[in-house]
Amino acid sequence: MKADQIFGRVSIVLPARNEAPALQIILPRLKLTLPDAEIIVVDDGSSDNTAEVAKAAGVNVISHPYSKGNGASIKTGARHASGEIIVFMDADSQHRPEYIPDLLGKLNSGYDMAVGARCSLQSQAGLHRAAANGFYNRFASWMTGHQILDLTSGFRAVRAQLFKSFLYILPNGFSYPTTITMAFFRSGYSVTYVPIVVDKRIGKSHVRLWRDGVRFLLIIFKIGTLFSPLKLFFPISFSFFSIGLCYYAYTYMTSGRFTNMSALLFITAILVFLIGLVSEQITSLMYREQDK
């Protein structure tokens, strides 16, 4: 029985930038695993022969005139995908096509998105990346109230109609997996995880530790503002208020007065709380419009 008769029409999207050597390996494996699937390679302004290798393999190729980012490539691929289900995976040969039927099986059993989760240390690109991903997973799990095994995994299968409805909020950079995961949880869609083993990538990573480190830290705040801003801002507001109260108690007992520093801390606490409250309302309106 053909795969599309079991899972429905499947499109596989691979964002690629200078990934010609890896594509020569991964594309034949993909066609062998899912011969009936639509395969789309999005060439993100590559300077090598990425597009030529993909075309020679007989898959659909969409080329950006210049590099727009991993997330932009994902959005381009999703817009051109004709399948009811879209599988996203890296083009650097890290993700094994043999896991795709497991992801599709989860969708077939009722989930809206299935994510390949790197649950072992050897599947992480170094100890620093493992530590960062572990922190993101725990923080996101706290924000959502659901266990998130791999927030940043780019290997996932998702129902196309639902994914496309969130294209407008996806960033053009590497943080699209974070954004789409939080958006699905915020909208009440079901997400599950499939443990996977990740191979060593072919070629050089496009992620730079120092350049992207600050940007990845900003993901933490993006997680909060995407899901529930008040849950992020309230603890910060409470911290300022508590410090202000303690400092006021100290100055009152030692000098019998209310200081400008205490006033500043109280005002900051109120402002942070109000920002969180307004952000919560804006987020609710955004998702309400998306549901229409």
Per-residue pLDDT of the chain (292 residues; tens, 9 = 90+): 455 555 679 999 999 999 999 999 999 999 999 999 999 999 999 999 999 999 999 999 999 999 999 999 999 999 999 999 999 999 998 999 999 999 999 999 999 999 999 875 554 455 666 777 778 888 888 888 888 999 889 999 999 999 999 998 888 877 789 889 988 998 889 999 999 998 886 756 555 555 555 666 677 777 777 778 888 899 999 999 999 999 999 998 988 888 899 999 999 999 999 999 998 888 877 766 666 5
Residue 225 confidence (pLDDT): 78
- Helix H or strand E segment including 116: strand 113-118
Residue 132 confidence (pLDDT): 73
- Cα-based torsion angle of the residue sequence 191, 288, 81, 93 in order, rounded to the nearest 10 degrees: -40
Residue 128 confidence (pLDDT): 61
Asked if residue 79 lies in contact with residue 49, where contact means CB atoms within 8 angstroms, the answer is no
Angle at which helix 127-144 crosses helix 209-227, to 10 degrees, equals: 10
Residue 162 confidence (pLDDT): 95
Residue 21 confidence (pLDDT): 92
Residue 1 confidence (pLDDT): 42
Pairing of strands 113-118, 156-159: antiparallel
Asked if residue 81 lies in contact with residue 13, where contact means CB atoms within 8 angstroms, the answer is yes
Q: Tell me which residue of 7, 1, 13, 4 sits closest to 156, measured CA to CA.
A: 13
